[in-house]
Amino acid sequence: MRIALAQINPVVGALKKNAALMANTYGEARSAGAGLVIFPELAVTGYPPMDLLLYSGFLQQVERMVTAKLAPLTAGGPAMLLGAPWRFGGALYNCALLLENGAITSVHRKTLLTGCAGFDEHRYFAPSPRQESMQIGGLTAAIAIGEEIWGEHGFYPRQDGGPDPVDELARLDAALLIKLSASPYLYGKHAWHEKNLARLAAKSKTPIIYLNQVGGNDTLIFDGTSLVYNNRGELICRAASFETDLLYVESETLFAPARQQLAPLADNIETIYRALRLGIKDYIAKTGFKSVVLGLSGGLDSAVVAALAVDALGPENVLGLLLPSPYSSSHSVEDAGELAGNLGIRKRVIPIEKPFEAFLDLCNPGGSPLLDLAEENLQARIRGTLIMLVANREGRLVLTTSNKSELSVGYCTLYGDMAGALAVLADIPKTMVYDLAEYINRRQGKEIIPRRTITKPPSAELRPDQKDEDSLPPYRELDPILELYLENNMAPEEIIAQGYNENTVYKVVALVDRSEHKRRQAAPGLQVTSRAFGAERRMPVARGYDYLEGKEE
């Protein structure tokens, strides 16, 4: 039997569009002689559908799409295995449905719900107590949805005593494990994933077909990268990463030695680049927009975002605004202009001096600058307001450019440089932004991002001769501390025990904790780590800090 892996890019909530996409893909696979066409987890709704699942009207429409649009296609055609939310006995389950001969003939309901990664499946779904199997084209297949199979790795320890799909394979006499997923990209995921799927297949002597959704949905970037392992745990097929794909595998090959094993996929800066590019592209398209605007400061972050946006959307859809203030260096406008020229995008120069003066006239004695923090924020907010004015008028979305290091310590202005629709670098530490810049230039074989933009000391240029390092530790020192605090959940004392400077650690931790209110109102940020701000890190704003011993009270 020829099995088709339909690695599609659904739009969350667009049930008709998704069903039409599935029908087209199914038709193509049918023409190619497939006997089974597999779609990802919750393919009909797109993942994650979030609170749309609380609307029974929405669930009715899902049911209508499956029974009236998709199931009829299988009358006389290949079988279809797809993910959809489905109701049984008053409860909602995250299901894999097998459609054959025009009807639903078999169902697997997810047993282990995903509580992390902002999915909160407990909010919507009941867990099934039973692992079920399906008869597909003469094979007995066990189905796993999402992370059900990772119990033994401690990610999802089965404290509820529910079944583990891998342990159940023998009882079910399953010849095959099919894993439907909507698994977002996280840096380092590919290597981990491939190692452990191979191990599970080898250990259980059972082939694994892993089909993953692709595409950006809000801040999540699903990478696709669907995989097929034979019963020796050898990787025999891999679908494209960050692109839709339709992959075929012959069922015989699942039970035979691999003719050639694929080399493991390693994550590197190119993976991050491709993830962010897809994230931008889909966010803009799926919100119904075409073009973007962003501020170009002459600095590194905006240069990298502009380059990514150009690759995602085309230079004709990217507008750069150069918004110099009285404190801008001469090179900032030059460097930003050079970048715009290199990228082939339109640019507009709007000096912010006049509105700045108008605000100072209203609020400062004699209208003279006080050079305080409020005036630094004021400049950022004037820029934000100008960018939004252009965006509103021209129907563009605003890309913000703050990186994860800045967002972590609050080195950014709410309603100023934080104002926008999508924060492209929100999960990218500054040190990695440098790597992205070098990669962008290497990729093009020329200096798209001007050398001076990369080499000059980072500066917000909000007061004379300001440098980031006046307020913050150097990024090469800051970023590892942030990683230990934010990703590894280490207490300050534990970080200090790793050899970091005590004062620096307490300062950084205090900056992070005290800027929670900014992140609460930040633009949605693309996620590429396991502790992206937003759904991944949920901290109270109004709180006490006195559990931090040492410097804080």
Rounded Cα gap, residues 373 and 364, in angstroms: 13
CA distances from 404 to 211, 418, 435, 532, 538 (A): 31, 12, 14, 9, 16
Nearest to 298 by CA among 316, 324, 327, 326: 324
Quote the distance between the C-alpha of residue 546 and its chain's center: 34
Q: How far is the CB of 369 from its own copies (least distance, A)?
A: 12
With vertex at residue 387, the alpha carbon angle to CA 385 and CA 388, rounded to the nearest 5 degrees, is 65
| C-beta of 60 vs 101, nearer to its own copies | 60
Q: Which is nearer to its own copies, 176 or 407 (CB)?
A: 407
Give the nearest distance from C-beta 545 to its own copies in angstroms.
7
Q: Roughly what angle, to the nearest 10 degrees, separates helices 300-313 and 269-286?
A: 60
Minimal distance, residue 28 CB to its own copies, in Å: 22
Closest CA to 274 of 314, 213, 211, 223: 223
Return the structure tokens found at 111.
């047993």
Give the nearer residue to its own copies in terms of CB position, either 51 or 250. 51
Q: Which is nearer to its own copies, 55 or 192 (CB)?
A: 55
Kindly list the distances between the CA atom of residue 359 and the CA atoms of 324, 365, 379, 421, 464, in Å, as whole numbers in the listed order: 16, 11, 10, 26, 19
Q: Which residues of 18-36 are buried (b: 16+ CB within 10 A; e: fewer)?
A: bbebbbebbeebbeeebbb
Q: Tell me the closest approach of the beta carbon of residue 527 to its own copies, in angstroms.
A: 13
Smallest distance from its own copies to CB 520, Å: 6
How many residues does this entry show for the chain? 553
Q: How far is the CB of 479 from its own copies (least distance, A)?
A: 20
Contact (CB, 8 A) for 461 and 329:
yes
The phi and psi torsions of 56 (rounded to 5 degrees) equal: -65, -30
* Distance of alpha carbon 193 from alpha carbon 183, whole angstroms: 11
When the beta carbons of 61 and 401 are compared against its own copies, the nearer one is: 61
Q: How far is the CB of 490 from its own copies (least distance, A)?
A: 7
* CA 494 – CA 506 distance, rounded (Å): 11
Q: CB-wise, 34 or 391, nearer to its own copies?
A: 391
Please give the single-letter amino acid code of residue 202.
Answer: A
Q: Is 345 exposed, middle or buried (0-12, 13-18, 19+ CB in 10 A)?
A: buried
Measured in whole angstroms, the distance separating CA 165 from the mean position of its chain's CA atoms is 27
The nearest distance, CB 184 to its own copies, in angstroms, is: 14
Tokens of 520: 């609460």
**Rounded distance between C-alpha atoms, residue 303 and residue 320, angstroms:** 10
In the complex, the smallest distance separating the C-beta of residue 185 from its own copies, rounded to whole angstroms, is 16
What does the alpha-carbon distance between residue 297 and residue 280 come to, in Å, rounded to a whole number?
20
Stated as kind and residue range, the H or E segment containing 209 is strand 208-212
CB of 362 vs its own copies, minimal distance in Å: 5
Give the shortest CB-267-to-its own copies separation in angstroms: 24
Asked if 417 and 402 touch (Cβ cutoff 8 Å), the reply is yes
Angle, helices 430-444 vs 475-482, to 10°: value is 110
Q: Which CB sits closer to its own copies, 31 or 159?
A: 159
Residue among 502 and 549 whose Cβ is closer to its own copies: 549
Q: Pick between residue 465 and residue 546 the one whose CB is nearest to its own copies.
A: 546
Q: Which amino acid is at 372?
A: D
Residue in 339, 240, 299, 347 with CA at minimum distance from that of residue 467? 299
| Shortest distance (Å) from residue 213 CB to its own copies | 14
The two three-digit tokens of residue 315, written as one number: 């230079």
Q: Whose Cβ is closer to its own copies: residue 22's or residue 235's? A: 22
d(CA 417, CA 546): 31
**Considering beta carbons, is residue 268 or 498 the nearer one to its own copies?**
498
Residue 52 or residue 136: which is nearer to its own copies going by CB? 52
Q: How far is the CB of 364 from its own copies (least distance, A)?
A: 10
Closer to its own copies by CB, 10 or 224: give it.
10
Name which of 20 and 266 has its Cβ closer to its own copies: 20
The b/e string for 371-390 (b: 16+ C-beta within 10 A; e otherwise) is eeeebbbbbbbbbbebbbeb
> What is the nearest approach in angstroms of its own copies to the Cβ of residue 67?
15
- CA gap 148, 93 in Å, rounded: 14
d(CA 223, CA 212): 8
